[in-house]
């Protein structure tokens, strides 16, 4: 049996006619940038999410950059973020001219350790940028309290956490802004690059919308210099179709996660993704921790099971951040986990029988 890590085509097949209708409608209208379909998607996403403002942008990386930049973050500032994420989280901090300050993670959820944030706050700190990695939220109660106490902006990177929640508060709703990616393999995925920012602050929303469109809300009325980071109309139409299914697709991810956990619970050498009390994990990724990670990965690969590593090098240990003078021992948890994490196949269309097979092979590996 072959088990791919993700299967984007399977999702397309499931909603093909609706997608083709939407794409066809856009082609017939031939409005490819802007137009009412952008607003329609923003409204649909906003009402499903309960977000007051949605600003659709070109991708999830720009979403972070635009939010930080329009909060006034720039040269001389520091932004505190997690040692474990995709590089977009930290490179966007640098893009504003500010400096990323990394904090180690908690081993249970691989999210930023709130107990290690305060020691990194200086007179230059302007914001905290937590990442709800893999689909489990960071501890927003503690992080929000720190932001209030130290008068810092809170921007949540929700690229992996559409509809994740803690005590019924959704990812992206606790701070100044929440940023999303609709990269094709994300829980809500376009057919190309796409992203959005949510915020309760109308003025921030207006400035972000302006900045993403060359500093203009109305053509030729440039109130500032900006960038070109707009959501394509085709992607908006596709995303609006997929939005109808996001709840049921998320349910499927949770069912798959439960199946993995039930069938693997007797394997003592694996640590499973934790779901802390009150949290809803949306399993963008199903990441186990295992000391024999590399051997297990090779074994599964030899048996037709694709896995992945998110991510093989913790951010502060990347060559891109050598200039910051960090050492792996400054981030003991993230530096250990980079050698132990393994992402198992996870996508809504995964079959029960495929998960049976993955679990069977994992049991076999630990018996050999
Ligand atoms: C995917 C991702 C991003 C970037 O999104 P793009 O749409 O690919 O630019 C940012 N942060 C995290 C944690 C991500 O997983």
Q: Encode pLDDT of 351-365 as tens digits.
A: 999 999 999 999 999
| Best CA proximity match to 362, nearest among 268, 240, 231, 239 | 268
pLDDT in tens, 50-75: 999 999 999 999 999 999 999 999 99
For 251-304, write each residue's pLDDT tens digit: 999 999 999 999 999 999 999 999 999 999 999 999 999 999 999 999 999 999
Q: Which residue has the tokens 């802390």?
A: 276
Q: In three state form, how does the secondary structure of 81-143 look?
A: EECCCCCHHHHHHHHCCCEEEEECECCCCCCECHHHCHHHCCCCEEEEECECHHHCCCCHHHH
Q: Kindly report, residue by residue over 20-47, the tens digit of the pLDDT.
A: 999 999 999 999 999 999 999 999 999 9
Say yes or no: CB of residue 196 within 6 Å of ligand 1. Answer: no
Angle at 334 between CA 257 and CA 176, to 5 degrees: 75
C-beta separation of 114 from 161 below 8 A: no
Q: Of 242, 233, 345, nearest to 19 (Cα)?
A: 242
The C-alpha angle with vertex 181 and arms to 180 and 183, in degrees rounded to 5, equals 165
* 140, pLDDT greater than 90: yes
88 lines ligand 1 (CB under 6 A): yes
**Bridge partners of residue 166, in order along the sequence:** 169, 279
Angstrom distance (rounded) from CA 254 to CA 280:
9
The pLDDT, as a whole number, for residue 344 is 98
Say how far apart CA 307 and CA 53 lie, in whole Å: 37
CA of 159 to the centre of ligand 1 (A): 5
116 pLDDT higher than 80: yes
Task: Give 188 Cα–ligand 1 centroid separation in angstroms.
Answer: 12
Say if CB 240 and CB 41 are below 8 A apart. yes
Helical segments of the chain, H only: 8-14, 16-29, 36-49, 60-70, 88-95, 140-150, 202-211, 233-243, 246-264, 293-302, 332-337, 352-367
- Residue 67 CA to residue 126 CA, distance in Å, equals 13
Rounded to whole angstroms, the Cα distance separating 136 from 107 reads 12
Span from the CA of 310 to the centroid of ligand 1 (angstroms): 12
Residue with tokens 């990177």: 157
Q: Per-residue pLDDT tens for 300-339?
A: 999 999 999 999 999 999 999 999 999 999 999 999 999 9
Q: Which atom of ligand 1 is nearest to the CA of 64?
A: 10
Q: Which of 89, 91, 105, 181 to mutate to test the pocket of ligand 1 (most atoms within 8 A of CB)?
A: 181
Going from the Cα of 277 to the center of ligand 1, the distance in angstroms, rounded, reads: 26
C-alpha dihedral over 62, 6, 160, 17, to 10 degrees?
Answer: 70
**Is 279 near ligand 1, meaning CB less than 6 Å away?**
no
Question: Ligand 1 center to residue 27 CA distance, Å?
Answer: 28
pLDDT of 242 reads 98
Whether 90 shows a pLDDT value over 80: the answer reads: yes
Percent of the chain with pLDDT over 70: 100
Percent of the chain with pLDDT over 90: 100
Q: How many CB atoms neighbour CB 136 within 10 A?
A: 27
For the cut 90, the answer to whether the pLDDT of residue 244 exceeds it is yes
Q: How far is it, in rounded angstroms, from Cα 348 to Cα 182?
A: 16
Predicted TM-score of the model (pTM):
0.98
Q: Which atom of ligand 1 is nearest to the CA of 61?
A: 9
The whole-chain average pLDDT of the chain stands at 98
Segment 213-229 shows an average pLDDT of: 97
Per-residue confidence at 130, pLDDT binned at 50, 70, 90?
very high
Run of H or E residues at 180:
strand 177-181
368 pLDDT exceeds 90? no
């Amino acid at each position: 049996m072959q088990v791919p890590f993700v299967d984007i085509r399977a999702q397309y097949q499931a909603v093909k006619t609706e997608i083709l209708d939407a794409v066809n409608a856009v082609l017939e209208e031939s409005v490819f940038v802007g137009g009412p379909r952008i607003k329609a998607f923003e409204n649909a996403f906003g009402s499903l999410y309960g977000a007051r403002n949605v600003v659709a942008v070109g991708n999830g990386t720009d979403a972070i950059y635009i939010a930080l930049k329009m909060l006034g973050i720039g040269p001389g500032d520091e932004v505190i973020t997690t040692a474990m994420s995709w590089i977009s989280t930290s490179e966007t901090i640098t893009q504003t001219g500010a400096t990323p300050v990394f904090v180690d993670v908690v081993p249970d959820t691989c999210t930023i350790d709130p107990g290690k944030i305060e020691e990194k706050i200086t007179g230059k700190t302007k914001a905290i940028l937590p990442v709800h990695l893999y689909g489990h939220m960071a501890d927003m109660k503690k992080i929000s309290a720190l932001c209030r106490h130290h008068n810092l902006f809170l921007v949540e990177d929700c690229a992996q956490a559409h509809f994740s929640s803690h005590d019924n508060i959704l990812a992206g709703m606790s701070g100044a802004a929440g940023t999303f990616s609709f990269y094709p393999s994300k829980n809500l995925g376009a057919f190309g690059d796409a992203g959005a920012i949510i915020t309760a602050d109308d003025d921030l929303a207006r400035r972000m919308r302006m900045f993403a469109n060359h500093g203009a809300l109305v053509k030729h009325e440039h109130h500032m210099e900006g960038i070109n980071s707009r959501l394509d109309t085709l992607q908006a139409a596709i995303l609006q179709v997929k939005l109808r299914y996001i709840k049921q697709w998320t349910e499927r991810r949770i069912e798959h996660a439960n199946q993995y956990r039930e069938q693997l619970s007797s394997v003592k050498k694996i640590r499973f993704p934790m779901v802390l009390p009150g949290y809803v994990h949306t399993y963008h990724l199903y990441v186990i921790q295992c000391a024999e990670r590399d051997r297990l990965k090779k074994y599964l690969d030899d048996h037709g099971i694709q896995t992945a590593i998110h991510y093989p090098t913790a951010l502060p240990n990347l060559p891109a951040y050598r200039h910051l003078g960090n050492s792996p021992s400054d981030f003991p948890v993230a530096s250990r986990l980079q050698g132990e994490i393994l992402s198992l196949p996870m996508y809504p269309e995964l079959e029960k029988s495929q998960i049976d097979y993955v679990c069977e092979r994992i049991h076999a590996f630990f018996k050999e």
